[in-house]
Structure 1
Amino acid sequence: MRGSLGGPRVLLRRLREVMAQRVSAQERLDKIVVLIAANMVAEVCSVYVLRVDSTLELYATEGLNRAAVHQTVMRAGEGLVGLVAQEAKPLNLSDAQSHPAFAFKPETGEEIYHSFLGVPILRAGNTLGVLVVQNRAHRIYSEEEIEALQTTAMVLAEMIASGELSALARPGAEPAARRPLHLTGLGISDGVGLGHVVLHEPRVVVTNFIAEDVAREVARLDRAVDALRASIDSMLEGGEIDPAGEHRDVLETYRMFAHDRGWMRRLREAVLTGLTAEAAVERVQSDTRARMMRQADPFIRERLHDLDDLAHRLMRELMGRTHAPKTERLPKDAIIVARNMSPAALLDYDRTRVRGLLLEEGGPMSHVAIVARAIGVPTVGQIANAAGLVDQGDAIIIDGASGEVHIRPQADVQAAYAEKARLRARKQKQFAALRDKPCVTRDGEHVALNINAGLLVDLPHIAETGAAGIGLFRTEMQFMVAASFPRSGEQERLYSAVLDAAGDRPVTFRTLDIGGDKVLPYMRSFEEENPALGWRAIRLGLDRPGLLRSQVRAMLKAAAGRNLRLMFPMVADVAEFERARSIVERELTHLRRHGYLLPEQLQVGVMVEVPSLLFELDELFARTDFVSVGTNDLVQFLYAADRGNTRVSDRFDPLSVPVLRALKRIIDIGQAHGKPVTLCGEMASQPLGAVALVALGFRSLSVSVAAVGPVKAVLRQLDARRAAQRILPWLEGRCSDTRLRERLHAFAESEALPL
């Protein structure tokens, strides 16, 4: 049924006029419902707005009792209006009162109306309210009418999101669009970040919703879609994308969606209702997002990210914005919000202005998490739909320790976290005061506290923290942040700079740990069912000896006349270590033959992170110069639980009997052979974990930069002998894993250790 005012295009033009008028928010809403009712020949038009308490309040109506405005409130899921909000999809009924969800509200006077059409008011997939039309006659509304109402709801969504309606609300009943949100994700990098949202991939803000010339908008849409398809085809066929890599799979998915007839049909239909091309894309994607977000199937939810990205690309194509805003425009207190991002993308931002990072995905061992910790950026991950819950410039607080996130926080919350940040700063000053003091336990045991590093930005931390050296330099970080494979000369310059910065402090370089889940964008990748157990690290290096040889040669040349410590990761047996060491000997011979100055001292070691090495320790220590225990991988392999998988990562505890027994075995056999043993990994960066390790006999730990102060403060208060006397007997008798951590906490409290 076509409305008397000539359909949705006329309605949109009238709405634009109303939106431009200088009237109060209530007057504007009242005029809008009158316009919609007249256009659709509806006897009732009502707007319900979702409030911060998750209820729906009647904000405006034409046809119902006006005294019910701001008085009628529906609970979440209550009535037909609540059902539309809950399911985020239209509801079209010829006899509303016969529906099982119907809820009678006598103050509205709606009992005389039978037909009902309700559509959700959506923005970025989030429900902000419900728009309803009703008639006395029993009728089903046409597809055209549903489309018109959905289009109108999009305009209302922007009005609600702008905060204009907040002045109409009672305290505690404000519209939910701008409500404060308290979410809990996964703490990835410690620290508190207070600031304002910067979207890593900003949504293109649509400012012009209503088309002047529909035919012109259809043509704009067609041109933009053609350009989008051409750009995807060009990337796929240009030879720059690995034919077997995951990047190709993503682009193939994009191409499939870009050629989907249903998607194109929905876009065209939205434009034909009178929307501009970009507004049509926004509306179709918001509807799609709302439906897919409510799906339980993780595969469907994953495809939502692909559709989001495709829609953003199309929007940028329509508005002539091929790139995101430059990072120079950052506020001084930027909190970056992204679905996920590469380490290189994070490093592109001005570090002096970044106060935190919030990710929809990301785990503590992801590449960007490692870089975030290295540069001291508080980070929280695994916040679903993070980018859809915020707007550019929103106030936000993140706590990298607890994983808590406060979006648009209230004043008391801001004050509390500001005080927490000040307390943290004072504590950091206290830790800084320990910089030049030795890390010696109360009973005189010296513990070498080294830092983990991987980039040039990490080097100043050696002096800042007073660290004994770099216990783990992750050489793959240089490869991960580079646009192409670093040449041997680039590698040599990096390693030389690291040694220069360390001075007389030792540096332990780990050879490349790539492959598996650490896929370099410029290298061919292979699909593996268990990438952590797959073709990675030393396995890749031994199978591609040219790669390992060039890296070893760069290290040897960079360390000319100096001391060099290098170690191999992911070694599964002694034979692998011997093969890797033979490559080092071969490169030494090559450099001697060509007259290069060699390192004054060379030590070659192994990372113990594969459990099979636990049963070859005597043979290993007889051949290696030192051993470094990589607890991150060793613990996950011992428990057969992927530390990056949130479903199982909490099923094991590093402070458990099996893990501590394994570590005690390593340190005991190392001492018996007179070989140095150090330990790197998150376990050492936790003060309680450091206490347990020192009790086991470890005297060299490599920790994150942020952990140096807290760990040193604890160890300087620790009596290592008493800790060993208390803890070691627990490993000999029967003790459950949970009880062991509890006992360690109780011991620390009894010793007044500053955990």
Structure 2
Amino acid sequence: MRDMEPGPRVLLKRLRDLMAEAAEPQQRLDQIVREIARNMVAEVCSLYVLRSDSVLELYATEGLNPGSVHSAQLQLGQGLVGTIAASARPLSLSEAQKHPAFTYLPETGEEIYNSFLGVPVLRAGRTLGVLVVQNRANRQYRDDEMEALETTAMVIAEMIATGDLSGLTRTGIELDLTRPVTVKGLSLNDGVGLGHVVLHEPRVVVTNLFNENFDDELRRLDQALNLLRVSIDDMLERREVAFEGEHREVLEAYRMFANDRGWVRRLEEAVRNGLTAEAAVEKVQSDMRARMMHMTDPYLRERMSDFDDLANRLLRQLMGRAPEDVAESLPSDSIVIARNMGAAELLDYPREKLRGLVLEEGAPTSHVVIVARALGIPVVGQAKGAVSMAENGDAIIVDGDDGTTHLRPQSDVETAYAEKVRFRARRQELYRELRDRPAVTKDNVAIDLNMNAGLLVDLPQLEDSGAAGIGLFRTELQFMVAAAFPRAEAQEALYYDVMAAAGEKPVTFRTLDIGGDKVLPYFKAGFVEENPALGWRAIRLTLDRPALFRTQVRALLKASRGRVLRMMLPMVTQLSEIAEARELIDKEVRHLSRFGHDLPKQLKLGAMVEVPALLWQMDELMKAVDFVSVGSNDLFQFVMAVDRSNTQISNRFDTLAIPFLRVLKQIADAGHRNNTPVTLCGELAGRPISAMVLLGLGYRSISMSPASIGPVKAMMKDLPLGDFSKSLEVLLSSGDVGRDVRQHVMDFAETHGITL
């Protein structure tokens, strides 16, 4: 038996009793600050709560003027209290009035107090208020006193979060927990989504805060930590992550954190101060997250994300929580918020319930973003702080058009966006009416409008969009959402399902295009590339790994039995690569024939024009293949020397600049000259204004996202293509390469009543 329990434990026991008593919220707060002051031998204890207008309002005090409660206010960042709230860091001073941030509030009568200890009231790393103790004497508060105050602040955070304090403010302004927040990020996929927040890895809500016996809680904590370490070791031993891959590096970081003595010591200290094991994890996690959020070093912030994931795993161990059945618990208008996530994880969510995706990280080339585009949902990335500011079930608006996320939006904002969604729906209805109409211009020129795809979830949109076929099937997406290389049987099954869904419509399969920005976590080159976009990728990689290429070719040949197989090689630089690929394809044809397999009735081999070197081999290329497809995204970045994922420079260069349009026209002219079909797939094809330019340049087949087909078809029905082509030719042949093509197109469209 211990002779005397430490102060924090006595305080927590008393707080537990107070929480159990029947009392009005204000009465309970008054009792809490009185108990804290008595326990810490402080003459003042005050609680400030952050309101939705970023004002800290005094909610309860022991020692200051009682009349100042709900009257005394500080702006976020103002005074010592405002500084603590803004920085999410505690502050201990023996002479508070000498601190440069000190602000005197005459209504409180606090000028007679010198020493000051304040801690942020945190929940999930988010500041909800500030808890303060003060003394007349120039006193230096001890570390254990600061720990006791932080622990108490956690209890108060739960009171705020559960709505116990709602309605106490005299101004009628809501608390910060419910205030509207707008987060500006990066647009990664167009569209607008209205719905409710689904946190990708929802925080485990800790309801049991106070322990009865800290020895028992320490044993629970130790057992959970041991189980956590074992589970991480088990994951590291699995075959798919045992030797290489980004997953292994993350798990190694997890293992380092799980064995970090500093972290474990802080957890044990919180338990000894009276918290349960799970409440201790929540407290330490919240403290660390709040402090790390203010760091600018991206490496340290990434490590914080790893730590967060680890702490959530530990909480689930302690509370015996298994992962929830995602499909069952989702609202019908779900908008998923995550720090980051894998492409396969997004596919775990039922598509019919998804309305949008918000990522604190994420880039245009992230695997999950590519999949989200395939699903046709709006995506906002680089939305810093979105996870910690959101709660499951919060109302949310995702504006993928300008990269903005509105959390808990005000009614007028919600109304405006609802109207925007209705307007888009009316336009979509117009596009649906055009679905079965032929894709012809006003002067009756037929155009093939194809769709891009890469997953089975894309296939229903082939019928819904009215696309003429699949102009680009990205076979690498199957590899990107898998934990290991897909087996030949899995590849064959996918390709067969795609062909079956397409029916009589043509499908163009691009062979594996990995490397560069498409990194497979289970496949590493074994060397570091300074410029991967220009490195070992696409056809270069698969020709160096012929077994990989032949496995895919065999799967395509077997899946296409009795049909026409259109196979396209990515990132061709020289004609010898086409010859080498054709030789490998012929070997597979002979192999399957020898063993009596049915083959495609016709094999058409194409090449993608993405590398500028092909521009000086155009006629030879057109004779070497059955068709050509222009990859406008890569071709533009190579021609203009622009890294399209670099937001600092990517917006400085116009894809409709005359030099680049001359390049595109050169390719289209070579196709006409050699009677070789030419298609263009890329972002250019999916925007009415740039699609109009492509048609004017001579392209008669373009491929785009399914959602873009309606707007492009609507533009075409009013387009007198012959007249526009002549005006565009005059513009391109003029000596002024700086002329604004975009403005020229818009002027022509306005004159002829064309919807862009």
TM bucket (normalised to shorter chain) is: over 0.9
Whether the aligned pair in 2 keeps the contact of 1:80 and 1:103 (CA below 8 Å) is yes
Residue 331 of structure 1: how far off its partner (Å): 1.8
Counterparts in 2 of 1:744 and 1:24: CA distance versus 1, 3 Å: farther
* Separation (CA, whole Å) in 2 of partners of 1:486 and 1:583: 20
Residue 524 of structure 1: how far off its partner (Å): 4.5
**SS of equivalent residue, structure 2 residue 133:** strand
Counterparts in 2 of 1:529 and 1:289: CA distance versus 1, 3 Å: farther
- Counterpart in the other structure of 1:61: 61
Q: Which amino acid aligns with 1:417?
A: Y
Q: Which amino acid aligns with 2:224?
A: A
Q: How big is each residue's C-alpha offset from its partner over 1:153-178, in whole Å with a ceiling of 9 and x where there is no partner?
A: 11111222223323123567322122
Higher alpha-carbon deviation: 737-746 or 321-330: 737-746
Equivalent positions of 1:271-310 (< 5 A) are 271-310=271-310
* Separation (CA, whole Å) in 2 of partners of 1:168 and 1:472: 60
* Separation (CA, whole Å) in 2 of partners of 1:26 and 1:727: 73
Counterparts in 2 of 1:210 and 1:730: CA distance versus 1, 3 Å: farther
Counterparts in 2 of 1:594 and 1:239: CA distance versus 1, 3 Å: closer
* Separation (CA, whole Å) in 1 of partners of 2:711 and 2:88: 48
Residue 144 of structure 1: how far off its partner (Å): 0.6
Higher alpha-carbon deviation: 275-284 or 238-247: 238-247
Residue 239 of structure 1: how far off its partner (Å): 4.2
Q: How big is each residue's C-alpha offset from its partner over 1:479-498, in whole Å with a ceiling of 9 and x where there is no partner?
A: 23334433323322322222
Matched, 1:663 2:694: no
Whether the aligned pair in 2 keeps the contact of 1:116 and 1:133 (CA below 8 Å) is yes
**SS of equivalent residue, structure 1 residue 433:** helix
* Separation (CA, whole Å) in 2 of partners of 1:508 and 1:716: 26
Residue 325 of structure 1: how far off its partner (Å): 4.4
Equivalent positions of 1:236-385 (< 5 A) are 236-385=236-385
Equivalent positions of 1:544-693 (< 5 A) are 544-693=545-694
How many residue pairs match? The answer is: 752
Residue 363 of structure 1: how far off its partner (Å): 2.6
Q: How big is each residue's C-alpha offset from its partner over 1:571-624, in whole Å with a ceiling of 9 and x where there is no partner?
A: 222221221122122222223333333322221001111222223222211211
**SS of equivalent residue, structure 1 residue 164:** coil
- Counterpart in the other structure of 1:508: 508
Q: How big is each residue's C-alpha offset from its partner over 1:529-556, in whole Å with a ceiling of 9 and x where there is no partner?
A: 4333332221221011111112112222
* Separation (CA, whole Å) in 2 of partners of 1:23 and 1:637: 70
* Separation (CA, whole Å) in 1 of partners of 2:350 and 2:397: 19
Counterparts in 2 of 1:346 and 1:482: CA distance versus 1, 3 Å: same
**SS of equivalent residue, structure 1 residue 168:** coil
Residue 736 of structure 1: how far off its partner (Å): 7.2
Q: Which amino acid aligns with 1:605?
A: G
Counterparts in 2 of 1:238 and 1:365: CA distance versus 1, 3 Å: closer
Whether the aligned pair in 2 keeps the contact of 1:357 and 1:379 (CA below 8 Å) is yes
Whether the aligned pair in 1 keeps the contact of 2:326 and 2:348 (CA below 8 Å) is no
Whether the aligned pair in 1 keeps the contact of 2:240 and 2:484 (CA below 8 Å) is no
Counterparts in 2 of 1:246 and 1:487: CA distance versus 1, 3 Å: closer
* Separation (CA, whole Å) in 2 of partners of 1:288 and 1:378: 32
Whether the aligned pair in 1 keeps the contact of 2:240 and 2:483 (CA below 8 Å) is no
- Counterpart in the other structure of 2:210: 210
Counterparts in 2 of 1:428 and 1:32: CA distance versus 1, 3 Å: same
Whether the aligned pair in 1 keeps the contact of 2:475 and 2:509 (CA below 8 Å) is yes
Q: How big is each residue's C-alpha offset from its partner over 1:83-141, in whole Å with a ceiling of 9 and x where there is no partner?
A: 11122111111111111111111111000000001111112212111111100000110
Q: How big is each residue's C-alpha offset from its partner over 1:15-68, in whole Å with a ceiling of 9 and x where there is no partner?
A: 222223333322222121111111111111111111222221111111111111
**SS of equivalent residue, structure 1 residue 717:** coil
Matched, 1:478 2:478: yes
Whether the aligned pair in 2 keeps the contact of 1:6 and 1:39 (CA below 8 Å) is no
Equivalent positions of 1:37-56 (< 5 A) are 37-56=37-56
Whether the aligned pair in 2 keeps the contact of 1:244 and 1:525 (CA below 8 Å) is no
Whether the aligned pair in 1 keeps the contact of 2:94 and 2:139 (CA below 8 Å) is yes
Matched, 1:125 2:110: no
**SS of equivalent residue, structure 1 residue 370:** helix
Q: Which amino acid aligns with 2:620?
A: E
Counterparts in 2 of 1:27 and 1:723: CA distance versus 1, 3 Å: farther
Residue 473 of structure 1: how far off its partner (Å): 0.8
Higher alpha-carbon deviation: 372-381 or 447-456: 372-381
* Separation (CA, whole Å) in 1 of partners of 2:388 and 2:695: 46
Q: Which amino acid aligns with 1:343?
A: A
* Separation (CA, whole Å) in 2 of partners of 1:343 and 1:738: 42
Counterparts in 2 of 1:390 and 1:190: CA distance versus 1, 3 Å: same
- Counterpart in the other structure of 1:399: 399
Q: Which amino acid aligns with 2:541?
A: L
**SS of equivalent residue, structure 2 residue 165:** helix
Residue 429 of structure 1: how far off its partner (Å): 1.2
Whether the aligned pair in 2 keeps the contact of 1:12 and 1:152 (CA below 8 Å) is yes
Residue 708 of structure 1: how far off its partner (Å): 0.9
* Separation (CA, whole Å) in 1 of partners of 2:177 and 2:337: 18
Counterparts in 2 of 1:555 and 1:69: CA distance versus 1, 3 Å: same
Whether the aligned pair in 1 keeps the contact of 2:362 and 2:369 (CA below 8 Å) is yes
Q: Which amino acid aligns with 1:518?
A: K
Counterparts in 2 of 1:41 and 1:434: CA distance versus 1, 3 Å: same
**SS of equivalent residue, structure 1 residue 61:** strand
- Counterpart in the other structure of 1:701: 702
Q: Which amino acid aligns with 1:720?
A: L
Residue 436 of structure 1: how far off its partner (Å): 0.9
**SS of equivalent residue, structure 2 residue 182:** strand
Higher alpha-carbon deviation: 486-495 or 643-652: 643-652
* Separation (CA, whole Å) in 1 of partners of 2:176 and 2:140: 31
* Separation (CA, whole Å) in 1 of partners of 2:86 and 2:743: 43
Whether the aligned pair in 2 keeps the contact of 1:5 and 1:11 (CA below 8 Å) is no
Whether the aligned pair in 1 keeps the contact of 2:245 and 2:522 (CA below 8 Å) is no
Matched, 1:424 2:428: no
- Counterpart in the other structure of 2:544: 543
* Separation (CA, whole Å) in 1 of partners of 2:476 and 2:133: 60
Q: Which amino acid aligns with 2:594?
A: R
- Counterpart in the other structure of 2:724: 723
Higher alpha-carbon deviation: 613-622 or 197-206: 613-622
Whether the aligned pair in 2 keeps the contact of 1:161 and 1:178 (CA below 8 Å) is no
Higher alpha-carbon deviation: 309-318 or 343-352: 343-352
**SS of equivalent residue, structure 1 residue 440:** coil
Residue 685 of structure 1: how far off its partner (Å): 1.0
* Separation (CA, whole Å) in 2 of partners of 1:200 and 1:230: 24
> What CA RMSD, in Å, does the superposition of the two structures yield over aligned residues?
2.1
Q: Which amino acid aligns with 1:112?
A: I
Counterparts in 2 of 1:145 and 1:542: CA distance versus 1, 3 Å: same
* Separation (CA, whole Å) in 2 of partners of 1:81 and 1:666: 66
Equivalent positions of 1:95-110 (< 5 A) are 95-110=95-110
**SS of equivalent residue, structure 2 residue 331:** coil
Q: Tell me, which stretches of 5 or more residues in structure 1 are unaligned? A: none
Whether the aligned pair in 2 keeps the contact of 1:541 and 1:548 (CA below 8 Å) is yes
Whether the aligned pair in 1 keeps the contact of 2:70 and 2:170 (CA below 8 Å) is no
Whether the aligned pair in 1 keeps the contact of 2:89 and 2:119 (CA below 8 Å) is yes
Q: How big is each residue's C-alpha offset from its partner over 1:664-703, in whole Å with a ceiling of 9 and x where there is no partner?
A: 2211222222211101111211111211211211111101
* Separation (CA, whole Å) in 2 of partners of 1:382 and 1:179: 21
- Counterpart in the other structure of 1:531: 532
Counterparts in 2 of 1:737 and 1:703: CA distance versus 1, 3 Å: farther
Q: Which amino acid aligns with 1:640?
A: A
Q: Tell me, which stretches of 5 or more residues in structure 2 are unaligned? A: none
Q: Which amino acid aligns with 1:595?
A: G
Higher alpha-carbon deviation: 111-120 or 595-604: 595-604
Matched, 1:200 2:200: yes
Percentage of matched positions with identical amino acids: 60
Equivalent positions of 1:179-198 (< 5 A) are 179-198=179-198
Whether the aligned pair in 1 keeps the contact of 2:336 and 2:357 (CA below 8 Å) is yes
Residue 516 of structure 1: how far off its partner (Å): 3.5
* Separation (CA, whole Å) in 2 of partners of 1:264 and 1:578: 61
Residue 203 of structure 1: how far off its partner (Å): 1.0
Counterparts in 2 of 1:662 and 1:75: CA distance versus 1, 3 Å: same
- Counterpart in the other structure of 1:225: 225
**SS of equivalent residue, structure 1 residue 167:** coil
Whether the aligned pair in 1 keeps the contact of 2:115 and 2:138 (CA below 8 Å) is yes
Counterparts in 2 of 1:290 and 1:732: CA distance versus 1, 3 Å: farther
Higher alpha-carbon deviation: 320-329 or 292-301: 320-329
- Counterpart in the other structure of 1:142: 142
